[in-house]
Amino acid sequence: MKKRILSLLLVALCLSFVACSACDSPAPEKPILYFYPEEDTIVSAKLELNGQLTCTYPEHGADGWQDYLAKPDGTLISPDGGEYYALYWEGEIEASMDFTKGFCVEGSQTADFLAEMLPRLGLNAREVNEFIIYWLPQMQGNAYNLISFQTDAYTDNAKLILSPEPDTLIRVFMAWKAVDQPIGIEPQTIATPERIGFTVVEWGGCKVG
């Protein structure tokens, strides 16, 4: 099967290139990785950040997460026998994001917006639920949220090395900014990936400002 690497990232926006935090280094929150092989498979993953990791679970060692048994239902078994449903990390990256296209969403409509958009970005029902549960409490009380979709500004600064390489890789990253008034923004086009074969999924995000 031809390898298909599909990278889609959810990033909230301003209207120009800005750092994805109040300080110089964006701080991605709760990126987690899911593995869905077609059969039991030994997998390894390593992050190479233009910055530094600040928290991982289970521990991301010098060589990353090595030799985990991944099952088709997404269960991961570590070499010492620990059982996980995903791999978690947070960190700081030196990067600027391209915030020239996206959406301005009323705070009270955030849940509906994410419930509609996240499946289009390739997430399944469980992944969508976990994403919304994590981010909604921070977003729904805002007057408006600026939200956008991006690829290289994130993936170039948070490289993910996987072994074996998946047939489908989906990386969804959301950076967002609360605003008091609606802001005009050119809508972004969303292309929905097809989950084929061994699939690896990542989602995370960060708040701007």
Q: Is residue 59 part of a domain?
A: yes
Percent of the chain with pLDDT over 70: 86
Q: Is residue 126 part of a domain?
A: yes
Strands 29-36 and 41-49, how do they pair?
A: unpaired
Q: Is residue 1 part of a domain?
A: no
Q: Is residue 183 part of a domain?
A: yes
Q: Is residue 3 part of a domain?
A: no
Task: Confirm if 179 and 17 have CB atoms less than 8 A apart.
Answer: no
Measured CA to CA, the distance from residue 180 to residue 144 in angstroms comes to 6
User: Average pLDDT, whole number, for the chain?
Assistant: 86
Q: Is residue 2 part of a domain?
A: no
Please tell me the predicted confidence (pLDDT) of residue 99: 76
Q: Is residue 4 part of a domain?
A: no
**Number of separate domains in the chain:** 1
pLDDT digits 0-9 by tens, 116-136: 999 999 999 999 999 999 999
pTM, rounded to two decimals: 0.86
Q: Is 133 exposed, middle or buried (0-12, 13-18, 19+ CB in 10 A)?
A: exposed
90: containing domain: 9-207
